Chains A and B, each alone.
Chain A
Amino acid sequence: MVVLREGMCPGLDADLVRDLRAAGIKTVEDVVSSDIEDLAQRCSVSYKALFAIRRVLLAQHAAFPVSGADLYEELLSSTAIISTGNPSLDKLLDSGLFTGEITELSGGPGSGKSQVCFGVAVHVSLHLKQSVIFIDTTGGLTASRLLQMMQTESSNPEEQTEALQRIHVFRLFNIFSLLDCLFALRSGRLQQACAGSVKAVIVDSVSAVISPLLGGKQNEGMSLMIQVAGALKTMAKDFNVAALVTNHVTRSDSGGVQPGLGVSWSHIPRTRVLLERRGEGGGGRALQSALCDPDQVLQTALSHQGRVRPAVVEPLERGVVGKEKTGRD
């Protein structure tokens, strides 16, 4: 994977790099996978020197094994469950969004995906006093709506102002700027920039930037999609944040709806929630988790209050964050 450079390890000097290059060996991967004996003859260097170089390179680039017990300890100490602010949605999600995991909301236009995202952002910033990173790719983030949700929760304007300042918004409209942003977040620079610890990263919506690259005869989109997924996953794990993404839906031939972005993407989120709009005028919505609890389908609190009142942000189960996760039953 990594290009061979002089000085990478003892014994690897400029002459040797040139010789190896002449023999078609350009990267660490090439050195590791090649036949050392043959290579020693072709480059006329000692077998011993090449063998030592290979051992050092392997040690430098290999991953470290972690014991299961250590991992479990770490899991118990670091995993938090972030309440979405909506009790019935929390119940559906096994008490909330788990840090280190990707949760996906999918649904048709006007099914309330963005509203759930707003609700989570408001809940985390207002009640849990944690920072939220909100990546808006559809231009749908309306700050006045966030304020409206906060006003029903708290009457203190200062508290609202502080909460609004804890929501960091990125407005990115194509996949390359999204990837740039995710990599920058992962490299930790932005974690420092956002004062306070970030507990949730919301991408609304991930499909809006990926779907322009899918379909037709283009296949580069697939690769970029998986890179977005990888970046999200490593970020969620490394920084222990809950990632919430939204996805659109497509209609299958039989007339049913299914989450968009195809089969490859379906392996990415840990939990998928399908939001549906039932009846005319935005009535009840059924939520369904595809991975968490397949049988569970429930009517949420959104039903009777619709979008007029922010039912999504009812503050319940406040003590959930920080609760130790004792494995999933």
Chain B
Amino acid sequence: MQISSCSLSPAVKSRLTAAGFHFLSELRGLSPSHICAETGVSQQEALQVLQAVRGGASGGGASVGGASGGGGASVGPPPSLTALQLLQEEQSQRSIFSFCSQLDATLGGGLPVGKTTEICGAPGTGKTQLCLQLVVDVQVPVCFGGLGGQVVVVDTEGSFLLQRVQDIAGAVVKHCSLLVEDDEQRVAMTTFSVETILSNIFLVRCHDYVELLAELHLLPDFLSEHPRVRLLVIDSVAFPFRLHFDELSQRTRLLNGLAQQLIAMATSHNVAVVITNQMTTRLRGGQSQLVPALGESWGHAPTIRLLLQWAGTQRLATIFKSPGHPGATVQYQITSDGFRDADQSEQPPSKRPRTHTVQSATGQRDSNQSSAGQRDSNQSAAGQRDSNQSAAGQRDSNQSAAGQRDSNQSAAGQRDSNQSAAGQRECS
């Protein structure tokens, strides 16, 4: 192995090279004082060099540190595991559910632990709300299907509103108290309160990117000291990096380094990392397009990318990229209790033509009612009553189309309700 590929400081490397050493194997068997005499490095540096030599000798020890940081020097063979072990590891880990059963279902049970997830969205789409919801959800006791973990929140925008956390925590505590069935859960509920939720949140405020990067260097130690931490939230990563940068390549470099640090932390400490990102406008041939900020190469950094957006009056969450889940779009809403499934009754009314006559063909109505689901039955009945006899032919065709749509919707609705039931089962 060449000396230039070791994680030593460039000054030491250049001294070694100047003295004629190019391969680590040449340094084997030398004493520190010998190296000092030949190359002119200090005793301490010579010791570091020899440690690198020994690491390389024993099967390529992962001597991390240096420019990209992330953990202390560990000597030994690099950690190899088979995909089967990885699968068992993945299956033993629980996900953090979001209280939006549709989103959880598409993500296979919630936000995965040990991965990085980015939440992108325009202002007001609910990025911070989702984060706050996750901050509370991760603390749900294990017997309720949660993780019973602690949280580190790195707040760069000043958007961490404690009142809001209190609201959401209150709702979650109330929800869990309704699900209590056995003694274990009863015992867990005695300690699961809004106060304990708040006490398990470690909040860090960072005002600029230097503070953020410094904090990320300190976090691995903090996570080692607090092994119960299961979630790291950075809200947002975009804000400190969108100003004070003259040179864009420098910004890209720092961001890429930050991304690798986060991934390393997520994997080694078994923590779900959630970062939020803002949106920016890209001009392309006279057309403008709303895309996540921080540039093209940052897009590779998170393992999972969620896009939150408005579509008319609906809020939509899209899985933009994920190695393990199909791309999907689901609806959600934000209530006073937090991030929830879209309320079906708040969907815009069906766009069936409506006129105001009280005559109706009863037979048709019945058949349509039976095809239309329970949820829409009122609406469709109303629609039928309203519908005009004179436009019977036209209406018929409309109705059949509408009926189909309704039945689809209601089927979807039923599936949703099943899912939410499943979600509740998971909670209980």
Cβ–Cβ contact B67 & A147, under 8 A: no
Q: Which of A49-57, A67-75, A208-216 contacts B (4 or more CB under 8 A)?
A: A208-216
- A interface, how many residues as a size bin? 35 or more
Cβ–Cβ contact A215 & B252, under 8 A: yes
| Minimum distance in angstroms from A311 CB to a CB of chain B | 12
Residues of A within 8 A of B114 (CB): 139
- Does residue A161 face the partner (Cβ distance < 8 Å to B)? yes
| Minimum distance in angstroms from B237 CB to a CB of chain A | 15
Q: Which of B42-50, B261-269, B396-404, B419-427 contacts A (4 or more CB under 8 A)?
A: B261-269
Cβ–Cβ contact A308 & B326, under 8 A: yes
- Does residue A173 face the partner (Cβ distance < 8 Å to B)? yes
Contact of B80 among A164, A190, A227 (CB under 8 A): A190
- Does residue B62 face the partner (Cβ distance < 8 Å to A)? yes
Cβ–Cβ contact B323 & A180, under 8 A: no
Cβ–Cβ contact B300 & A176, under 8 A: no
A140-B323, A144-B324 known; A216+B299 contact, CB < 8 A: no
Cβ–Cβ contact A164 & B84, under 8 A: yes
Can you name the residue of chain A whose Cβ is closest to the Cβ of B62?
A177
| Minimum distance in angstroms from B4 CB to a CB of chain A | 6
Cβ–Cβ contact A165 & B83, under 8 A: yes
Cβ–Cβ contact A213 & B68, under 8 A: yes
A174-B68, A212-B67, A215-B250 known; A144+B260 contact, CB < 8 A: no
Cβ–Cβ contact B90 & A144, under 8 A: yes
Residues of A within 8 A of B7 (CB): 174, 176
| Minimum distance in angstroms from A169 CB to a CB of chain B | 5
Cβ–Cβ contact B86 & A143, under 8 A: yes
Cβ–Cβ contact B253 & A164, under 8 A: no
Residues of A within 8 A of B91 (CB): 144
Residues of A within 8 A of B83 (CB): 121, 125, 134, 141, 143, 146, 164-165, 167-169
Residues of B within 8 A of A177 (CB): 62-64, 78
Interface residues of B in 319-363 (CB under 8 A from A): 320-321, 323-324, 326-327, 329
Whole-angstrom CA separation of A115 from B322 in the bound complex: 10
Contact of A179 among B5, B253, B321 (CB under 8 A): B5
Using a CB–CB distance below 8 Å, which chain A residues touch chain B?
Answer: 1-4, 26-27, 29-30, 108-110, 114-115, 118, 121, 125, 134, 137-148, 161, 164-177, 179-181, 183-185, 187, 189-190, 193-194, 205, 207-209, 211-218, 220, 223-224, 227, 231, 248-251, 255, 257, 260, 281-282, 306-308
New contact pairs (7) apart from A138-B300, A173-B261, CB-CB < 8 Å: A110-B327, A141-B86, A146-B83, A184-B59, A207-B300, A215-B252, A218-B67
